[in-house]
Structure 1
Amino acid sequence: MNLLRELVGRHRRYHQLEPQMLRYAAMVGLVAYPLFYLSRFTKSSPGYDDWPLRLAAMLACLLILFPEHWPRSLKPHFHLVAWAVPIFCLPFLFVFTSLKNGGGPVAVGNTLMAAFFIILLTDRRNMFVMLAAGFILAFGVYWASDPSPQLPMDYVARLPILLVVVAGGTLFKHGVERAAAIKVRQAYASLAGSIAHEMRNPLTQFKLSLEAFQRVLPVPTLEVERQELAAGDLNTLYEHIAQGELAVQRGLQVIAMTLDEVHDMPLNSDGFSRLLAGETCARAVQEFGYEDATHRAQVSLRVECDFFFRADETAFLFVMFNLIKNALANPGVRVQIVVDAGQIEVRDDGPGIAPEVQARLFQPFYSQGKAGGTGLGLAYCARVMGAFGGSITCSSVPGQSTCFRLTLPLVTAAERNKELTTMLAKSRALFDGRRLLVVEDNAAVRFLTRHKLASMGAVVDECSDGEQALHMLAQQRYDLIVLDLHLPAMDGYALTKRIRAGQPGIDPQLCIVAYSGEPMAVAQIKTRKATMNGFVAKPSEQCALLKALCDAMETSQARVAAQQAPSLAGRAVLLADDNAYIRKTVAASLRAEGVTVVEADNGHKVISRLATMDRCDAILLDIEMPGMDGIETAGAIRASALACRRAPILALTAHSSPSVLQEARRAGMDDLLVKPFDMAMLLEKLHALPLCGAVRARAPESNHLTGADTVNLLDIKRLDNHRRIGVLDELMVEYLPAIDRLLCDVEASAMAQDTKACSEALHSLVGMSGEAGAQALHRLARQCHDPLVEEGRWPAQADWTGALRELATQTRRALTDYAAPVEAGKD
């Protein structure tokens, strides 16, 4: 059994990169088998009538051709069937019919053709196994089924030819695979070289930041209380922390962009924002990781005619960093960046580039005379500029200068007005009727800020110092405060500290947005440390200011909601990763949240651990594990009879390509987290998983749920409001039967495979459960509804209707328990 599992696994991995190969082979079989059968009628002696075998082979090809239509319970066995079908359709069928027909040249040709297709369709080890299995099976069935079996000697005599063909084909395929492997290794070497080369800049910057930390830290002593920072050193530390954080961010962006280039993934235009060319270029010059002050002095910026363009800021900064870095690679070169009406030029007075080289500069993995360079940066620059709707060109005079010219489409006044109108509508929806406070000591800035905020529909008050702001906050409830950091007497940081400390009458969760002229990177570090909700730089145009306030308000509301969300404490999670360090780190963080963590380092242990667990609220699976990988493990879990087979599965992977995402979804995984990730992101994913904390691996033995389960299943705040306004009785009388009817409609339409009726019933169930305060049922119903509507496919989770029914039963009990005190009070 282990040998069979290994062979099927090798076959699956062989077709993983090009899954269409099996479909193409199945298409050929569907056409060839009936055509070859018809050809027998052109012969005077048709021979053995093999139509039942050919019909079976065609049905087997149909199975391979349409795996998406397999029942969900059988999909995990697809690769086993895909491994067995070629054995039946090729060596077995052709050898068996050849023996029944008494051999001959045609039989030998058919056998050679079968062997040829097997060589093409699988790896070398499976090739020998499949051919041997097919031949042995054919001879065995022939000998057992034929009343007078005879071994055709002319056919047997030509078997050495078959052996020569198999050996030659094997050697030929080995040579092709070896050549392909060499090309892959060369591509990987170029990719690794590109990542290493592009990472050198952010890592150098990070190293310099660490060295600066060491210079600023006080001289160590065992008397801890005497270790004090010198005046001004604390601010210096913040500056270097900001630089280090930027370096880490740039490094991660380099990796992500390089992988996007390799996978040919386009930039998502939804993330594009309106940028001011001069301001963005100034940020690039400021944030670039220079080796020293001399290096910095070699770069200058001149803005002749500023303009707006639409782009992804991170990707554009990468383009600028790449051009600056390439120019500074030549010692003593002066670099000038010129911004002028739709164009940005990066000029240098270096050695120049030969004309024949310029034509190849933007090709992937091409580098011009730069040690350790791979040229992937310029290829990505060209791709990024194309995604922005612009272009990048190079002109150079050898021995004198080089100029890279970025051409970008301008954002017109009409587009700017449309964007402002959209932002005004969003801000009105968010702030209409709310009250804002602007704290700014500069009267002119206060006036302009208040003028920019006047169109939001909010009441805007103002004051000029921290003490006055505290007094106003204590007298009146405010929803957001726009706070200058450099105030007289009490600065913005001190005022924030007083607010968060819970001053009498002041909401400690008040949304605070810093409004300052400090460098953005440093100010963001400081304001985040001070627990402010957002930052916007001075001066700021109206659209940018409104966007910053909207983002901060939404972040603040999300943070408050997260604090009110059910805790993960008491949950049970299975964590599987073959990397012991990652397991240890993630497990420790989860246990700090009160989560019970069971660990495994491969897929087989995952299955055995799950079989012994009393409950499992979520499964975290690394995709790349030895033996049974994460994809196989997820499929095995979903197809098993384990009590926790419906537990949500979160994939942990370093690969974010669409094929990996698609395969993970097909295997029944609920979500995916790309490494490296931080714990906040993982915890957010766990909170968002549809069944996390809602469906248990085993049903509770009692008919009544505990208080913790009730909180997880129900939206208590919504139900408290229903109770307060006196509609809880109506909810129990009308909503619960309606939910039961909708569940019956969902089950009936799912059984009839009626996607339209099922999506309509699920849509009603999503709305009804949400209104009834059944938050866990609402999340699961939405999870089932969305893929059905958006992609036209049934939910990947096995027995999803059963999961809905089970969760609805628990929800009914929870609602009954919740309403019981009200009914008792009435009696």
Structure 2
Amino acid sequence: MKLSSYIQKSVREGTQVSKFNTLAAALLGAPAHFFFYFTFKYGFHLPYENFTLRLIATLLCLSVLFKDRFPEFINRNFPWFWHAFLIFVLPFIFTVNLVMNNFHELWLYWEIFMLFVLISFVPNWLMFLIDFFIGVAGAILFYFLSVPHVELHPTFNIPLYAIVITFTIVAGIGFSYSNKRGIMALERNNALQALAGGIAHEMRNPLGQIRYNFDAIQQELPFYTPESEFSSIPVSGVERIYQRVAQGQMAVNRGIQVIEMILEEVKDSASSKSTFSFYSISAVTRKALDEYSYESEEERQKVHFQDGADFMFRGAENMFIFVLFNLILNALYFLRSFPGGRIDIRMQPGESLNRLYVRDNGPGVSSENLGKLFDPFFTSGRKGGTGLGLAFCKRVMRSFGGDIICNSVHGEFTEFVLSFPVLAESEIADYEALLYTESRLSLSGKRFLLADDNPEILAMIRRYLHPLGVDIDEAFTGSEVMEMIESERYDLLLVDLNLPVLDAFELAYRIRGSGKHLPVVAYTAEPSYILLGRAEKSGIQGLLSLPIALADFLHLVTASIKENPAILQGSLGGKTLLVVDDSAVNRMIIRNILQKFRLTIVEAVNGQEAMETLENHHCDLMLMDLQMPVLDGLETAKRIRSGQWEYRNIPIIGMSGNSDPETVQQAMLSGMNDYLLKPLDNRLLLKKVVALI
């Protein structure tokens, strides 16, 4: 583990503040300091006692009882207040009394007692030593600044006492660590028991949506008998089928996200910053609101997005969308009993931090629970959830370099504030320059046809395309598009989905029917995922939602050019792909995706069979599952790479349902060239196959 990571881990472990600790500090510390002042000064007649220091310590001990009533700034940073409090009331005051009483025997004993108490409150050895040495250093400084100056004449055996102190610290840390591990094991066991039920609960929602949509599709289909002659399904019925399929696909994706979220939290692993990119907060927020699975139109109408001044953030889109999903899910749950309930989402750019506010006028959060909302496995009122959501949201936002806090007044409102560091203009400019550099290689010199009757959108698209060096023609209706395609050659059609005369669906269908291989990318103000299935069926390569984000635009346009069926069939035609998986369903899915590009598909059910197949067939690429009977994918890859056979250099793409870095690293170390996560993303599968074949 890197030193910086270990220090961060130590700070995290050493700043955990439980309600029991604050209660113990208040009820034991406050009377103890007050009582011992009078006992030592008037009972034992020790030469030094300081009423002011004892009074401050007593008040500090009592103050932690009112933690939930602290100002918002202090409450947000309470762990640091807690450490300052411990440093003052334990090592500082105890060491001051030890030194100022000329190392009196009684205070030598109390110093050892103080060490055990401090260790019990600070369960990390590094944070304990930091707190201890800061307190001792402060006491020594206090001694030198005190007037009159006390002359020190220690009579105790310093080396012998130093041995006792050292052993006390080591033993205390050992006992604290053992106790912490036992408590953690118990908590982990309880948490995992709750997690089993939590997973079942969280997965019921997307699985229920899938079942509902399949039932709805079945209702749209006509009654079947072997003698039936089917009439056409009404247009409205076809549209409903497309919508149900899209919603079912989105439910599957949401279920996968829930699983990923739970695995991330259980493993206590942070999002990898190497995969972070730049996003428009407005565009991603709109996407999240469009894709959220509302239970009714009434529920959808409760969510209001004030699209104000936009800003960019650096992070992971899926993780941020999940954060919003979680906040909306919680708010809607508590708004069920509020007829006038609403959720307001607004953006606020700032000088050092940009913010997104998610506020509801629901029941609010009690002051007792407000400070615990982001604790792992904590739930407040909502039954049946995992309790992982807000803790995971905190981890995601901090991995973005920002944070998430909650402001609430019980009975009035709850407001979550998501903060993002302001990105320098140079960072955004460098990112956009990199995007254009990557896209220019594929797009420079191409000829595009833009089709829209909205001049503002046409101007925006021209602005996006200008740095790429592409030639641009424009059309304003579907009939003009067809005329221009007949007379000119184009590399891409960019079109408004609802173009007059002939919309994008009809245009793509006619272009495909004419035998032309012209990629079509459409855009729409409607939620794109609802229309994506119908768009792909008609021949549209990609669909964008307005407002169009630059990164999404460039990625999709570039991919559509590269994935032009004519180009792909030319590059993949005649190649042979070996699919190795013990699941017949998985092999069928891959075969159906890739066969249309004139690839020859060969199959094997385990690694041993795959190696035998390679002995008898020339293959250009392997797609291989990691977990299989007889011989798994990792061992198969190692044997292929270590042997002297002709196929030892064949490109291998590993496949697995595990996304953790350890599994990916094992795949790479075994000799695989790339890695795919199951269930497979069609576009990503095609991209990786093209790159390696």
SS at match of 2:605: strand
1:345-400: CA deviations, max 9, x gaps? 22334443333433332232332333222221111111111122221112233344
Sort the Cα spacing of 1:369 and 1:311 in 2 relative to 1 into closer, same or farther, 3 A.
same
Equivalent-residue separation in structure 2 for 1:488 and 1:290 (angstroms) = 32
Amino acid paired to 2:329: K
Q: Name the counterpart of 2:373.
A: 361
Q: Name the counterpart of 2:537.
A: 529
Alignment check: 8 A CA contact 1:430 1:550 kept: no
What are the ranges of 5 or more consecutive residues in structure 2 without an aligned counterpart? 1-180, 349-353
Q: How does 1:425-440 map to 2 (within 5 A)?
A: 430-440=442-452
SS at match of 1:295: helix
Sort the Cα spacing of 1:642 and 1:182 in 2 relative to 1 into closer, same or farther, 3 A.
farther
Q: Name the counterpart of 2:290.
A: 286
Equivalent-residue separation in structure 1 for 2:288 and 2:196 (angstroms) = 25
Sort the Cα spacing of 1:548 and 1:253 in 2 relative to 1 into closer, same or farther, 3 A.
same
Q: Name the counterpart of 1:610.
A: 612
Q: How does 1:94-243 map to 2 (within 5 A)?
A: 188-220=192-224, 224-243=228-247
Q: Name the counterpart of 2:474.
A: 462
1:699-720: CA deviations, max 9, x gaps? xxxxxxxxxxxxxxxxxxxxxx
SS at match of 2:493: strand
Equivalent-residue separation in structure 1 for 2:182 and 2:579 (angstroms) = 40
Does residue 391 of structure 2 align to residue 379 of structure 1? Answer: yes
Q: Name the counterpart of 2:59.
A: none
Alignment check: 8 A CA contact 2:278 2:312 kept: no
Q: Name the counterpart of 2:562.
A: 557
Please report how far the alpha carbon of residue 339 of structure 1 lies from its aligned counterpart in structure 2 after TM superposition.
0.8
Alignment check: 8 A CA contact 1:534 1:548 kept: no
Alignment check: 8 A CA contact 2:343 2:361 kept: no
Alignment check: 8 A CA contact 1:591 1:597 kept: no
Alignment check: 8 A CA contact 2:614 2:647 kept: no
Pairs aligned (count): 501
Please report how far the alpha carbon of residue 420 of structure 1 lies from its aligned counterpart in structure 2 after TM superposition.
5.1
Amino acid paired to 2:392: Y
SS at match of 2:359: strand
Sort the Cα spacing of 1:430 and 1:191 in 2 relative to 1 into closer, same or farther, 3 A.
same
Alignment check: 8 A CA contact 1:611 1:642 kept: no
Equivalent-residue separation in structure 2 for 1:682 and 1:425 (angstroms) = 24
Does residue 528 of structure 2 align to residue 520 of structure 1? Answer: yes
Alignment check: 8 A CA contact 2:405 2:417 kept: yes
What are the ranges of 5 or more consecutive residues in structure 1 without an aligned counterpart? 1-176, 693-827
2:665 alignment partner, one of 659, 662, 665: 662
Sort the Cα spacing of 1:220 and 1:516 in 2 relative to 1 into closer, same or farther, 3 A.
same
Alignment check: 8 A CA contact 2:306 2:344 kept: yes
SS at match of 1:477: coil
Sort the Cα spacing of 1:545 and 1:479 in 2 relative to 1 into closer, same or farther, 3 A.
farther
Please report how far the alpha carbon of residue 244 of structure 1 lies from its aligned counterpart in structure 2 after TM superposition.
2.1
Q: Name the counterpart of 1:332.
A: 337
Amino acid paired to 1:227: S
Please report how far the alpha carbon of residue 531 of structure 1 lies from its aligned counterpart in structure 2 after TM superposition.
1.9
Q: Name the counterpart of 1:396.
A: 408
Q: Name the counterpart of 1:296.
A: 300
Please report how far the alpha carbon of residue 662 of structure 1 lies from its aligned counterpart in structure 2 after TM superposition.
2.8
SS at match of 2:616: coil
Q: Name the counterpart of 2:281.
A: 276
Does residue 680 of structure 2 align to residue 677 of structure 1? Answer: yes
SS at match of 2:358: strand
Q: How does 1:36-115 map to 2 (within 5 A)?
A: none
Q: How does 1:571-650 map to 2 (within 5 A)?
A: 573=578, 575=580, 577=582, 582=586, 594-600=600-606, 606=609, 610=612, 613-615=615-617, 617=619, 621-625=624-628, 629-635=632-638, 649-650=652-653
Sort the Cα spacing of 1:316 and 1:610 in 2 relative to 1 into closer, same or farther, 3 A.
same
Equivalent-residue separation in structure 2 for 1:412 and 1:209 (angstroms) = 45
2:493 alignment partner, one of 456, 481, 499: 481
SS at match of 2:421: coil
TM-score calculated relative to the size of structure 2: 0.62
Amino acid paired to 1:348: D
Q: Name the counterpart of 1:23.
A: none
1:489-526: CA deviations, max 9, x gaps? 333322222322336xxxx2223221333332234333
Q: Which has the higher contact order (CA 8 A, sep 6+)?
A: 2
Please report how far the alpha carbon of residue 320 of structure 1 lies from its aligned counterpart in structure 2 after TM superposition.
0.9
SS at match of 1:565: helix
TM-score calculated relative to the size of structure 1: 0.53
Q: Name the counterpart of 1:722.
A: none
SS at match of 1:337: strand
Alignment check: 8 A CA contact 1:513 1:549 kept: no
SS at match of 1:366: coil
Sort the Cα spacing of 1:621 and 1:179 in 2 relative to 1 into closer, same or farther, 3 A.
farther
Equivalent-residue separation in structure 2 for 1:510 and 1:449 (angstroms) = 19
Sort the Cα spacing of 1:180 and 1:319 in 2 relative to 1 into closer, same or farther, 3 A.
closer
Alignment check: 8 A CA contact 2:359 2:413 kept: yes
Equivalent-residue separation in structure 2 for 1:513 and 1:588 (angstroms) = 23
Please report how far the alpha carbon of residue 200 of structure 1 lies from its aligned counterpart in structure 2 after TM superposition.
3.5
Equivalent-residue separation in structure 1 for 2:544 and 2:585 (angstroms) = 39
Amino acid paired to 1:564: G
Equivalent-residue separation in structure 2 for 1:491 and 1:356 (angstroms) = 57
Q: How does 1:632-781 map to 2 (within 5 A)?
A: 632-635=635-638, 649-677=652-680, 685=688, 688-689=691-692
Alignment check: 8 A CA contact 1:352 1:398 kept: yes
Sort the Cα spacing of 1:366 and 1:612 in 2 relative to 1 into closer, same or farther, 3 A.
same
Please report how far the alpha carbon of residue 429 of structure 1 lies from its aligned counterpart in structure 2 after TM superposition.
5.4
Sort the Cα spacing of 1:397 and 1:668 in 2 relative to 1 into closer, same or farther, 3 A.
same
SS at match of 1:363: coil
Alignment check: 8 A CA contact 2:199 2:386 kept: no
Sort the Cα spacing of 1:487 and 1:295 in 2 relative to 1 into closer, same or farther, 3 A.
closer
Amino acid paired to 1:376: L
Amino acid paired to 1:661: V
Alignment check: 8 A CA contact 1:193 1:372 kept: yes
Equivalent-residue separation in structure 2 for 1:672 and 1:303 (angstroms) = 38
Amino acid paired to 2:287: R
Sort the Cα spacing of 1:672 and 1:178 in 2 relative to 1 into closer, same or farther, 3 A.
farther
Equivalent-residue separation in structure 1 for 2:637 and 2:463 (angstroms) = 56
Sort the Cα spacing of 1:359 and 1:513 in 2 relative to 1 into closer, same or farther, 3 A.
same
1:418-459: CA deviations, max 9, x gaps? 555555666665544433222223456545654664554333
Equivalent-residue separation in structure 2 for 1:666 and 1:424 (angstroms) = 33
Q: Name the counterpart of 1:347.
A: 359
Please report how far the alpha carbon of residue 318 of structure 1 lies from its aligned counterpart in structure 2 after TM superposition.
0.7
Q: Name the counterpart of 2:176.
A: none
SS at match of 1:251: helix
Report the aligned-residue RMSD.
4.0
Sort the Cα spacing of 1:547 and 1:456 in 2 relative to 1 into closer, same or farther, 3 A.
farther
Alignment check: 8 A CA contact 2:624 2:633 kept: yes
